[in-house]
Amino acid sequence: MLSNASKYAILSTLYLAEHSNEGRKISVKEIAENIDVPSPFLAKLFQQLVRGKIISSTKGPHGGFYLSEKNKNKNVLDIIDNIDGVNKLNGCFLGLNECDSANPCPVHFIVVPFKNNILAKFRDKTIMEFAQEISDKGQLLTPNDIGPSLEEPCK
């Protein structure tokens, strides 16, 4: 349902939520190493996230990436929308061109409640609330850890 780009963007933004602030900025290299994501790919994602005002950055010797108070109040759906667009989540689960209530695919009515539930969670929780929830559960932020939790209800 989510592209790797969206997963990496979510993961890295949650990492920033836990480890950065305006006084402690983090380099792409440090984040990439800590969450096991390719650094060049993450750098391109961060350019997009900064342009979309999802994360903040400062250039120079003490520069890096961080979340401002305003960034922390964004939600995960903002990240997905910035990277993939929300239409990716609204498309047919089987990839059919025409799929809606009037012309459903074989799994349409199974998937729609799941999609609505996950979209609500992505929309209704701030980045900081997500980061806190992950921290409270003692989970590590790596692609292997975040992927299954997003996809688990599909089993």
Based on C-alpha coordinates, what's the Rg of the chain?
16
Give the global pTM.
Answer: 0.81
Q: What is the average per-residue pLDDT within 29-54?
A: 94
User: What confidence score (pLDDT) does residue 152 get?
Assistant: 38
C-alpha 27/C-alpha 34 separation (Å) is: 11
User: What confidence score (pLDDT) does residue 59 get?
Assistant: 92
User: What confidence score (pLDDT) does residue 150 get?
Assistant: 38
User: What confidence score (pLDDT) does residue 108 get?
Assistant: 93
Q: What is the average per-residue pLDDT within 69-89?
A: 91
- Note the pLDDT tens digit of each residue in 11-28: 999 999 999 888 899 999
**DSSP 8-state code for residue 131:** H
User: What confidence score (pLDDT) does residue 134 get?
Assistant: 83
Residue whose structure tokens are 């984040």: 31
**DSSP 8-state code for residue 60:** S
Name which of 107, 9, 110 is nearest 67 in CA terms: 9
